[in-house]
Chain A
């Protein structure tokens, strides 16, 4: 008679900590949403307080953050390396620019097309590369990044060759009463929010869990029934899509595209920024975007090569001492501060 009772008791004891943990998780999740809401409120308020140039800089931070979000999906969550995400960024930027230039497509309508083209391209290129180890993906993407610039210069009739294409920027609708830079900022903000929600949902779904499994142990993931090549290719295509969307917004904001803006440096800077921002973390892309925008603009005064020296040293240092990047450091700091506060 005592058997089943013991079992239930054991089960209850086993369940109790789980329930406690899940409550804590709900609390953290709620806190996260509050932080997000506050951040969003600040982000909406900022453009009314800053000079247009600062608003432009913040807009570029958002553009980079969307691209880094995609790269984070691939590198941080699926554990694959891309040295050519600048190429997908360029595909989005040129896709949008060509549509606006040739067919006078409204700016906003180019976004889904640019994203879809980048997704399809990511799928096509990921298929051969993903059948193999991550290393080969790095090789293939590096080759793509180098090949893209001469390719863009070659099809001069469509891409405008080395001279590039100059385009009109989106005009703010009269009812908003916003200046051009503010309107661009809010467009970029909207795209960023949607992109973050998409990525968040994606990572919580079975796709996200499959990606984490692939990253942490390929063999174990495969045994559990995760189709490695399918999920790796999918992750690559998704991340290309985010980069393409970011490129499209870039075209709106800058109003000009030229091949040399999308050279290998862009791809490498993207990788460096996400590593420094924090691989596999939610705020990593935003911190990386801030880093990518402001570090070069500040350090360029010292020397043209200073941003590269800083990026190179930081990326190595981060890999040694803080593999979770700025986001991880920020999290660690918050935790230790909370601990100190609780003790007192």
Chain B
């Protein structure tokens, strides 16, 4: 039984990382209706930026703050420069553009920092808290705390600030928002900046666990997609719950289903995506879209 609980704790730790990337995906989807296939690669690029700052001798937490700022500006720039020209274009076009961004960012990171793996320092101490036969790693706890803080800050931003109110207005109805004087274009850019920042957090949390390399986020992106599908693409709460569920499901499947083992775990998100699409396409917390053609 203790072993089982231990697996769940491990799963929650992994799930918190998926949740943070899923949160970034959902943020962009809410504002622009775009599923950003390059989100994982942007997170990877942010992790490299943090690595570069630390290689220059900065302490971890200062590097983190600088990286988040750079990511925020980078995200806004990408929206203005890359996404804006295809705003309102058919879904096919937008998806292909984000895939192009995926390829470009991945290759650019390889060009700048090479494809060799790099060590990334873990900001959390190594030990663990022992409680009731469970051992809670400081690293797992730290990840959960960081994701919790990010969620709390986003909640405060959206529910208790004027900027957040404007962002919710744009998400709900862009043309009405424009009529009441909200600058829709800038709000969309702000959404991308926020998403890039949240993504950067997940990239920096993943890097110490997986080693830093340009293809690091490929697998994580699939888990994040599964999390967003499970929770509903238009629900931030759903993304977090979805991330935790996917993390636990994946860890339990890897530990207890002999056939799956540790190498086939990446099939779990595929199965989750397929099941959700068949049974409840809008996800657990999402609203079913009613379309008028």
Please list the residues of chain A having a beta carbon within 8 angstroms of any beta carbon in chain B: 75, 79, 81, 83, 128-129, 131-136, 138-140, 142-144, 146-147, 150-151, 153-154, 217-220, 264, 268, 271-272, 275, 303-309, 311-316, 319-320, 323
Which residues of chain B have C-beta atoms less than 8 A from A308's C-beta? 103-104, 106-108, 110
CB proximity of A125 to chain B, nearest CB, Å: 8
Choose among B85, B99, B219, B221 the residue with the greatest number of A CB atoms under 10 Å from its CB: B99
Give the one of B35, B97, B218, B277 with max A CB within 10 A: B277
Q: Is the CB of A319 within 8 A of B103?
A: no
Contact across chains for B103 and A144 when beta carbons are under 8 A apart: no
Residue of A128, A220, A303, A312 near B101 (CB, 8 A) is A312
Known contacts: A154-B263, A219-B293, A312-B101. The answer to whether A275 contacts B96 by CB under 8 A is: yes
The verdict on A315 contacting B96 (CB below 8 Å), with A147-B266, A320-B86 known, is: yes
Task: Assess whether A79 is in contact with B225, with CB atoms less than 8 Å apart.
Answer: no
Tell me the bound Cα distance from A132 to B266 in angstroms: 23
Output the least CB separation between B34 and chain A (Å). Answer: 9
Q: Is the CB of A272 within 8 A of B100?
A: yes
Which residues in B have their C-beta under 8 angstroms from that of A268?
A: 99, 102-103
Complex Cα distance, B266 from A315, in Å, reads 28
Closest to A315 in B: B100
19 contacting pairs across A/B (C-beta < 8 A): A81-B95, A134-B91, A138-B95, A143-B225, A146-B218, A151-B267, A153-B263, A275-B96, A304-B110, A308-B104, A309-B104, A311-B100, A312-B100, A312-B106, A313-B104, A314-B100, A316-B104, A320-B85, A320-B86
Q: Is the CB of B107 within 8 A of A271?
A: no
Q: Is B92 an interface residue (CB 8 A)?
A: yes
B277 and A129 contact, CB distance less than 8 A:
yes
1/0 contact trace for B253-268 toward A, CB 8 Å?
Answer: 0000000000110110
Nearest CB of chain A from residue B249's CB, rounded to whole Å: 14
Interface residues of B in 162-195 (CB under 8 A from A): none
Cα-based distance from A117 to B13 in the complex (angstroms): 39
Given contacts A81-B96, A135-B91, 6 further A-B contacts (CB under 8 A): A83-B99, A136-B273, A138-B95, A154-B264, A308-B107, A315-B97
B107 touches A139 (CB 8 A): no
Q: Is the CB of B278 within 8 A of A128?
A: yes
Complex-state Cα separation, A145 to B263, whole angstroms: 15
Q: Does B270 contact A (CB under 8 A)?
A: yes
Given contacts A139-B225, A147-B270, A305-B110, contact A312 B277 (CB under 8 A): no
B4 within 8 A of A: no
